Structure 1
């Protein structure tokens, strides 16, 4: 299932994927990314996320579509997973107690995509071990340089034209794009304060999905995957968009407290 936003004056469709997908990557070393979370509904993977405290996961706001999940059918968070099609002994399945979408996020506002961030308060704290670890957030909001190589991981499509998802965690290396190039392509739908984008090389990408998965640059999570060109995540014309985590640090601290790693 994918949710599409039609951006009128650009004449393009933006996919905010509810299916995971890494294109042009490789299978990640099992359990090498212990901060990764799989958001699932009825044991079906819908989005990625990142454990930022034992009781909080950071992800994309659009991963919660209120018309999709009834009060009895909430998402669960799966931690410590490599193969999500199996019940691995390393996995911890934890229910979500509270969904905290950014107050400026509005899924009906097609002109502002830049507040697509959400915290998930877990019902029980995760047990930290070699399979499950907290990922420290950036220390401060700062300028993110272009041409830096980063990586992103997720469970899903290895080919944008193939609807068969991978059960095991995939990862891919991407290069950040200059903000002015992002702005040139996406116009008013790119906000340089709150967003970054990656180079569109036509081969490597997160695909109509992996929403909420962290973009890791030099061991630091700089952003979370948000939007891609609809039906063509490897589009050479439109860079993929991410929400910059550091911009939202004050909001995150306000919601969960200043001490992250508890």
Structure 2
């Protein structure tokens, strides 16, 4: 898990990300800002763990077909200015093979330092994780929130049961949707309604939307 710090004129914003190569982090394209820094081995943002690695971003590579209005293809690679030191605390997470996908009903996890509720303006200081279910596409397609009119069944996964009241939120964007030990998607967007509605994750670049993992 990578903490992506975005320095702006209005302060610091947060995104998540994950290490797929020792010099490459995968995150969301809507986190594309000029001043980005990636930190690894971060648990509590208020503390500086001795094993933390803070690495500037050398190059931002958003998906060439990223649509800022619909957030379709919300995927971006961050090339790090130097290679991360792999250790027992820093490892790589695999992407799915071309024939791998994830089926509705699968339980996956998301993690990040995002906001804990719509009533809280500040994100969490501590890295948090929650399990979410992958849902059938029609659950998002029939959602009354107008933002779901952009839902693309060939590139997006619907995840997070509103009955559970647990989901990703602002500040969690770019973090991985981990199913088993594989990153099957990237946290992208969702409804701001309360209770939480399902969120959307673009499928990992190598995944096949027509296949399911056993």
CA drift of 1:141 comes to 4.4
Residue 67 (structure 2) pairs with residue 106 (structure 1): yes
| Structure 2: gaps of 5 or more residues | 208-214
1:108-257 equivalences under 5 Å are: 110=69, 112-185=70-143, 188-198=149-159, 199-201=161-163, 203-230=165-192, 232=193, 234-235=195-196, 238-245=197-204, 248-249=205-206
| Structure 1: gaps of 5 or more residues | 1-35, 251-262
Q: For 1:47 and 1:125, locate their aligned partners in 2 and report how far apart those are by CA, in whole Å.
A: 20
Is the alpha carbon distance of 1:84 and 1:187 closer, same or farther for their aligned partners in structure 2, counting shifts above 3 Å? closer
Q: Is contact 2:114-2:170 (8 Å) kept?
A: no
Partner of 2:16: 48
Partner of 1:59: 27
Is the alpha carbon distance of 1:41 and 1:182 closer, same or farther for their aligned partners in structure 2, counting shifts above 3 Å? closer
**TM-superposition CA deviations, 1:198-230 (whole Å, max 9, x none):** 122251011123000001112211111000113
Q: Is contact 1:216-1:223 (8 Å) kept?
A: yes
Q: Is contact 1:206-1:233 (8 Å) kept?
A: no
**Which TM-score applies when normalising by structure 2?**
0.86
Question: Residue 187 of structure 2 aligns to a residue in which SS?
Answer: strand
Considering only aligned residues, what root-mean-square deviation do their CA atoms show, in Å? 2.0
Q: Is contact 1:58-1:212 (8 Å) kept?
A: yes
Is the alpha carbon distance of 1:158 and 1:211 closer, same or farther for their aligned partners in structure 2, counting shifts above 3 Å? same
Q: For 2:99 and 2:12, locate their aligned partners in 1 and report how far apart those are by CA, in whole Å.
A: 34
User: Higher RCO, 1 or 2 (CA under 8 Å, sep at least 6)?
Assistant: 1
163-172 or 210-219: which moved more? 163-172
**TM-superposition CA deviations, 1:12-63 (whole Å, max 9, x none):** xxxxxxxxxxxxxxxxxxxxxxxx0000134945100000000000000000
**Which TM-score applies when normalising by structure 1?**
0.71
Partner of 2:52: 91
Q: For 2:72 and 2:162, locate their aligned partners in 1 and report how far apart those are by CA, in whole Å.
A: 20
Q: For 1:192 and 1:156, locate their aligned partners in 2 and report how far apart those are by CA, in whole Å.
A: 26
